[in-house]
């Protein structure tokens, strides 16, 4: 076998897909081709830039209409959305929460904010999400049903919930994961920060679990500058999400009555205005991203040592970030490839480091993480902005 990964050839193919040119191609940048200027200007003209104004409501209704979730509650960022999800499900001091080791730091941090402990589980090569088969075997060894929930027999702590993350926009295999949650009495939270508009068997990511979080950070498929949302079909959870995110203030014409220790997580009107304009273009963004993914897939079909990561067969992904996967025998060349691509103006990036390897999470419980470790070594994200495709 030819044991040479041709880094320059890979750079050339990428440039080819991205229409040549020599300008720097960032990993992801937002597109503002719609009513962004008009709606933001409207906020400035009306003076409603902060905690009141019509766009917050409007964004929430747009999110509900788009995803089919019964309730959307907008907040300041995706991390805050996750924190609320966990709080609302009663995750607290000393509880363990199952979550992938392969995720963005926000997932683990939100668990820590509740005084709970992340319990890291492995991923699946085919989906980049939690591997249900491997998790089932592991839980069979360590989890004990107890009352209506379950307990980690090794630490003695309750395992309260599972956070499923849809990596790079590709939905995790939710059905078997839901079954596991039912078997062990766990609540399912979807961290759908990367997956707005992605479908799992026809259902929107973020509408399958009990409660979910979205992010509208500047690098996500839809941005509000900074922002996030909680999605749920449960009326009570939705009411409490809104209440807790707005300092738990009871509505009253002039009196300040706060009936819980809430948070100031409300999304400002200015950000929501940007989000409304972005939501109107979401179908177009997804269309373009899927077109770009198709081009990448075709271009890398016969390239030695590397392949394009395609959506799982049950999914229609938003392809938030496109990814290449190095064959196992070439993973030692990952950093050289990243170095060369970046030197040539292609904003390629690795995945995150595993949470379990970070200083503050090193002591947390975990299962064997060999697949996640392999994915970190093999996956390279490549430029994925919707604006790279010039079609409408």
Ligand X SMILES: *Cc1c(COP(=O)(O)O)cnc(C)c1O
For ligand X, the binding residues (CB under 6 A) are 77-79, 103-104, 106-107, 165, 191, 193-194, 215, 217, 228
10 versus 364: smaller Cβ distance to ligand X: 364
Taking the C-alpha atoms of residue 109 and residue 193, their distance in angstroms, rounded to an integer, is: 14
106 versus 180: smaller Cβ distance to ligand X: 106
CB contact set of 317 (below 8 Å; sequence gap of 6+): 169, 170, 171, 195, 198, 290, 293, 311
Cite the DSSP H helix spans in 221-281. Answer: 235-245, 269-279
Least distance (Å) between residue 169 CB and ligand X: 10
Residue of minimal CB distance from ligand X? 78
3-class state of residue 41 by DSSP: helix
132 versus 228: smaller Cβ distance to ligand X: 228
Residue with tokens 């170095």: 339
Contact 40, 256 (CB under 8 A): no
Least distance (Å) between residue 71 CB and ligand X: 19
Least distance (Å) between residue 88 CB and ligand X: 17
Q: Are strands 315-316 and 322-326 parallel, antiparallel or unpaired?
A: unpaired
Least distance (Å) between residue 10 CB and ligand X: 25
Contact 162, 186 (CB under 8 A): yes
150 versus 193: smaller Cβ distance to ligand X: 193
166 versus 295: smaller Cβ distance to ligand X: 166
Least distance (Å) between residue 146 CB and ligand X: 30
- Structure letter (DSSP) for residue 263: -
Least distance (Å) between residue 28 CB and ligand X: 11
Taking the C-alpha atoms of residue 263 and residue 242, their distance in angstroms, rounded to an integer, is: 10
104 versus 184: smaller Cβ distance to ligand X: 104
212 versus 331: smaller Cβ distance to ligand X: 212
Bridge-partner residues for 243, per DSSP? none
Least distance (Å) between residue 44 CB and ligand X: 24
Taking the C-alpha atoms of residue 335 and residue 353, their distance in angstroms, rounded to an integer, is: 14
Could you please report the per-residue DSSP string of 321-389?
A: SEEEEE-GGGGGGHHHHHHHHHHTTB--EE-PPPGGGSGGGTTS-B---HHHHHHHHHEEEE---GGGS
């Amino acid at each position: 076998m030819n044991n040479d990964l041709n880094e320059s050839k890979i750079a050339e193919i990428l440039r080819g897909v991205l229409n040549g040119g020599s300008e720097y191609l960032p990993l992801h940048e937002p597109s503002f081709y719609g009513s962004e200027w008009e709606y933001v200007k409207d906020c400035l003209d009306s003076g409603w830039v902060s905690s009141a104004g019509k766009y917050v409501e409007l964004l929430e209704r747009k999110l509900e209409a788009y995803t089919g979730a019964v309730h959307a509650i907008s907040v300041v960022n995706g991390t805050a959305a996750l924190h609320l999800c966990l709080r609302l499900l009663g995750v607290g001091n000393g509880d363990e929460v199952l979550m992938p080791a392969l995720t963005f730091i926000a997932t683990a941090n939100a668990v820590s904010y509740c005084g709970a402990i992340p319990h890291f589980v492995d991923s699946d090569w085919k989906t980049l999400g939690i591997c249900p088969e491997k998790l089932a075997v592991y839980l069979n060894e360590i989890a004990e049903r107890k009352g209506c929930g379950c307990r980690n027999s090794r630490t003695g702590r309750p395992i309260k919930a599972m956070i499923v993350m849809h990596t790079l926009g590709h939905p995790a295999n939710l059905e078997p994961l839901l079954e596991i949650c039912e078997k062990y009495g766990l609540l399912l939270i979807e961290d759908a920060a990367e997956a707005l508009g992605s479908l799992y068997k026809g259902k929107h990511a973020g509408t399958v679990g009990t409660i979910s979080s979205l992010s509208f950070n500047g690098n996500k498929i839809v941005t509000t500058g900074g922002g996030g949302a909680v999605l749920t079909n449960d009326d009570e959870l939705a009411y409490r999400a809104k209440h807790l995110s707005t300092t738990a203030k009871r509505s009253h014409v002039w009196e300040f009555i706060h009936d819980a220790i809430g948070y100031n997580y409300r999304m400002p009107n200015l950000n929501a205005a940007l989000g409304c304009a972005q939501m109107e273009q979401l179908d177009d963004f997804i269309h373009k991203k899927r077109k770009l993914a198709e081009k990448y897939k075709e271009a890398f079909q016969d390239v030695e040592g590397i392949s394009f990561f395609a959506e799982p067969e049950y999914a229609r992904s938003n392809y938030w970030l496109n990814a290449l996967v190095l064959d196992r025998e070439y993973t030692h060349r990952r950093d050289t490839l990243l170095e060369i691509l970046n030197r040539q103006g292609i904003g390629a990036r690795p995945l995150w480091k595993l949470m379990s390897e970070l200083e503050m999470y090193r002591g947390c419980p975990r299962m064997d993480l060999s697949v996640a470790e392999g994915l970190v070594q093999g996956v390279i994200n490549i430029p994925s902005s919707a604006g790279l495709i010039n079609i409408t």
